[in-house]
A and B are shown apart, each in its own frame.
Chain A
Amino acid sequence: MVTRTNARRNPALNSRPNPVVAFVVAFFGNFIVQRFLLFLLTIWVAATVIFMLPRLTGQDPVKEKLLLEAQRGGSVQAGMNEMAKEYSARLGLDLPLHVQYVNYLSDLSRLQFGYSIAYFPRTVNEIIADSIIWSLGLMTVTLSLAFVLGTGAGALLGWSRSPGWLSYAFMPLLTLSAIPQYMLGLVLMFIFAIILNLLPFFGAYSPGNLPEWSLSFVLDMLKHAILPALSILFSAVGFWAIGMRGMMINTQGEDFMVQADAKGLNGARIFVRYAIRNALLPQVTGLAISFGTLLTGAVLVEVLFQYPGLGNTLFYAIRVSDFFQITGIVMTIIISLSLATMVIDLVYPLIDPRVKYSQN
């Protein structure tokens, strides 16, 4: 972007098109490159904010916490002193700011989040690796299912030729979409786990069961996932359905929909190829924007059901003020989220011909 402005201002560059400049212009003008730079920028900004905050206050709660843990003594805490020293040497407030910053960024670029304070000598990476599988499993399944179901429901709800009784589904869906996921979780937990006593209400598998690839374990696991998954699903289905309904109503007001009717196309074709196909576009853009909100909601559902994913781990890290773990988990979530939204943005031109990769 910057390069192009320079090229325009500088007559020397304009008169003799330099192949290097032309390449640089083309490179940075490229949609994929721009999107990737935005991805890096996002992570860098997030990391910098996280780095700067404690330094602004001038206190070093991390060091205090480390020393506090070290004072408790005991076999595990023996290494805590070392850790406190290393922290001070690399990231502590005693060092010049830029040195701390460079060290911090270099750790981050290798995705090294350091040791956990609470579970020392385990590293944050190990802890994240243990829990991220559960989160990924729960969230990818529920969030993608919710998108499909919600969009489908919204398409039918917003379609003027849908049967009239369908409109009764609008109010419940609206309410579902307005209830935070964890509140819905409370209700589901109460109904299915406490009153009906049908489903387990905490953990990812029964205590005493060890993770293994046996049928009974998988069934047990699925049983444990039902309630958290439903809490996320219901609320997210409502969210997508309401959005899609609005887009469908908007789309039906478009001139090309009148024209599709005037062409005497059959109803199914108009519904799918004209209405849904166009209403889906803003829905996909919305996917990128709403991902964060949906994901943080899902994090809280994990806490409610003590589901051993990232969210629950974050909750326990917060309770014991395990700064490295908190930072590590937050950065992991931010990176995965940015990655997901980048993928969506990159896929988008494939479904909307008006957006091109090679656009300025």
Chain B
Amino acid sequence: MARAAGTRNLTMGTRIRLARRRWGIFFQERIEPIFLYGRRNPSLIVGLAMLGALLFFTVIGILVYGQTEPHLAGRAQQSRLDAYVSSGAPVQDKRLPPSWCTWCEDIVEREPDERPSLFQYPMGTDTQSRDLFATNLRGIPLTLGTGLIAGLLSVGIGTVTAFIAAYYRGVPDVLIRLLTDVGISIPGLLILIIIRIQLGTELVWWQLGAGLAAVGWVFSSRTVRSQVLVLREQPYVEIARQSGMSGLAIIFREMMPNLIPYITASFVGSVAGSILASIGLEALGLGDFSSPSLGMTVYWVIQFGAITLGMWWWWLFPLVFIVIIFVSLFLISAGLDEWSNPRLRRQA
């Protein structure tokens, strides 16, 4: 109170100086360490930057492309972004290479004047004359979204079960441990194949994510549980327990801060694993056929033999996006490892 009253009487200059100092301290204590840390942990920064760049590209692409007029007559399109709506495909735009690729030869014969303008099809078209740029722009968020849903759910379920197991010990622990041991040795993809086949319906992106989490949570559970077991024996947790702190309070106030690196790493790992599995499932023909996700593009590429047709643009661009996603997630998780296990830093 006294301090607040005190500040009211200060001159403008002093206030600015005080504020600057406060922000200076804030910068020194909060912001600077991040940069200092970034220099020590380049994989984390590079990974985040790669992922950020991909997201930036997608968002900008969607915003710009969403404003453009559809240029294919006879399709139920709002904008060029809706290229995936495939009814009434006109024939002449089939199998176009990227239109900036002036040295690429057309696969389907066409009149010279029909050649589209330089940026009409930045990533070419497929055998159904769908604009692959639009397809990829739509596909990246779909694929990332599936991974995100799966990752969030996996880590959520994994963390809760890990706490139940580690905290209550006894029967719940044994059951959860058995379940994770069993779950880890069964490839989730195979179970998902069965689920998908037996359900008989196509799974949209978030359902796919939920399905992946249903088989993928065991990995998070295992990672987190082993860390909770270590933490449980720490003196400060013991002190908290003896001073009568409640179970939940111990978990959230004492253990959580130390678990964050592991939970984050487990999250990134399960996002990557889920995306890998989702693309696999889609490539096997078990995806959502009306969805332009990256995995479905891979499926169509294999189905239509894009490689033998020489349509490199059909598979190369999604491949690049997939590689960017996996490499960036890998770098991020390597960086998180370094964060939780400083020994690795030595040779980063």
Do chains A and B make direct contact within the complex (CB under 8 angstroms)? yes
Report A's interface with B, CB cutoff 8 A: 1, 38, 41-42, 45-46, 49-50, 53-54, 57, 59, 61, 158, 160, 174-175, 177-180, 182-183, 186-187, 189-190, 193-194, 201, 246, 249-250, 253, 288-289, 292-293, 295-297, 300, 303-304, 314-315, 318-319, 321, 323, 326-327, 330, 333-334, 337-338, 341
Report B's interface with A, CB cutoff 8 A: 174, 178, 181-182, 184-191, 193-195, 197-200, 273, 276-277, 279-280, 283-286, 298, 301-302, 307-308, 310, 312, 315, 319, 322-323, 326-327, 329-331, 337, 341, 343-344, 346-347
Question: How far is it, in angstroms, between the C-alpha of A160 and the C-alpha of B195 when the chains are bound?
Answer: 48
Question: How far is it, in angstroms, between the C-alpha of A349 and the C-alpha of B198 when the chains are bound?
Answer: 41
Name the residue of chain B whose CB is nearest to the CB of A317: B197
Task: List chain A residues, Cβ under 8 A from B310.
Answer: 194
Task: List chain B residues, Cβ under 8 A from A297.
Answer: 276, 280
- A326 & B280 in contact (Cβ 8 Å cutoff): no
Task: List chain B residues, Cβ under 8 A from A289.
Answer: 184
Top 3 A-B residue pairs of the complex, sorted by shortest distance between their CB atoms: A292-B187, A178-B326, A253-B343
- When A50-B194, A182-B283, A326-B193 are in contact, do A341 and B326 touch as well, CB less than 8 Å? no
- A179 & B326 in contact (Cβ 8 Å cutoff): yes
Question: How far is it, in angstroms, between the C-alpha of A338 and the C-alpha of B186 when the chains are bound?
Answer: 8
Question: How far is it, in angstroms, between the C-alpha of A53 and the C-alpha of B211 when the chains are bound?
Answer: 13
Question: How far is it, in angstroms, between the C-alpha of A327 and the C-alpha of B191 when the chains are bound?
Answer: 10
For the complex formed, measure the closest distance between the CB of B319 and the CB atoms of chain A, giving whole angstroms. Answer: 5
- When A61-B198, A61-B200 are in contact, do A160 and B312 touch as well, CB less than 8 Å? no
Most buried by B among A174, A288, A296: A296
Question: How far is it, in angstroms, between the C-alpha of A1 and the C-alpha of B285 when the chains are bound?
Answer: 44
Task: List chain B residues, Cβ under 8 A from A61.
Answer: 197-198, 200
For the complex formed, measure the closest distance between the CB of B124 and the CB atoms of chain A, giving whole angstroms. Answer: 15
- A292 & B185 in contact (Cβ 8 Å cutoff): yes
Task: List chain B residues, Cβ under 8 A from A41.
Answer: 178, 182
Name the residue of chain A whose CB is nearest to the CB of B277: A296
Partner of A300, one of B273, B280, B319, B322: B280
Question: How far is it, in angstroms, between the C-alpha of A303 and the C-alpha of B185 when the chains are bound?
Answer: 23
Partner of B284, one of A45, A250, A318, A337: A318
Partner of B190, one of A38, A177, A178, A296: A296
Name the residue of chain A whose CB is nearest to the CB of B324: A178
For the complex formed, measure the closest distance between the CB of A117 and the CB atoms of chain B, giving whole angstroms. Answer: 12
Secondary structure of the B side of the interface? Answer: helix
Task: List chain A residues, Cβ under 8 A from B186.
Answer: 42, 45-46, 292, 334, 337-338
Most buried by B among A42, A160, A201: A42
Question: How far is it, in angstroms, between the C-alpha of A334 and the C-alpha of B199 when the chains are bound?
Answer: 21
Q: Knowing that A38-B181, A50-B191, A194-B308 are A-B contacts, what are 18 other residue pairs whose CB atoms are under 8 Å apart, sorted by A's residue number?
A: A45-B186, A59-B200, A174-B330, A180-B280, A190-B312, A194-B307, A250-B341, A292-B185, A292-B187, A304-B302, A314-B284, A315-B284, A318-B284, A318-B286, A326-B194, A330-B193, A330-B194, A334-B190
Task: List chain A residues, Cβ under 8 A from B284.
Answer: 300, 303, 314-315, 318
Task: List chain B residues, Cβ under 8 A from A330.
Answer: 190-191, 193-194
- B194 & A183 in contact (Cβ 8 Å cutoff): no
- A38 & B182 in contact (Cβ 8 Å cutoff): yes
For the complex formed, measure the closest distance between the CB of A209 and the CB atoms of chain B, giving whole angstroms. Answer: 20
For the complex formed, measure the closest distance between the CB of B139 and the CB atoms of chain A, giving whole angstroms. Answer: 14
Task: List chain B residues, Cβ under 8 A from A193.
Answer: 307
Question: How far is it, in angstroms, between the C-alpha of A179 and the C-alpha of B327 when the chains are bound?
Answer: 8
For the complex formed, measure the closest distance between the CB of A44 and the CB atoms of chain B, giving whole angstroms. Answer: 9
- A323 & B185 in contact (Cβ 8 Å cutoff): no
Question: How far is it, in angstroms, between the C-alpha of A253 and the C-alpha of B341 when the chains are bound?
Answer: 11
Task: List chain B residues, Cβ under 8 A from A53.
Answer: 194-195, 198-199
Name the residue of chain B whose CB is nearest to the CB of A341: B185
20 contacts between A and B (CB under 8 A): A46-B182, A50-B194, A53-B195, A53-B199, A178-B330, A179-B322, A183-B298, A187-B319, A253-B346, A293-B273, A296-B187, A296-B190, A297-B276, A297-B280, A300-B283, A303-B283, A314-B284, A318-B193, A323-B198, A326-B193
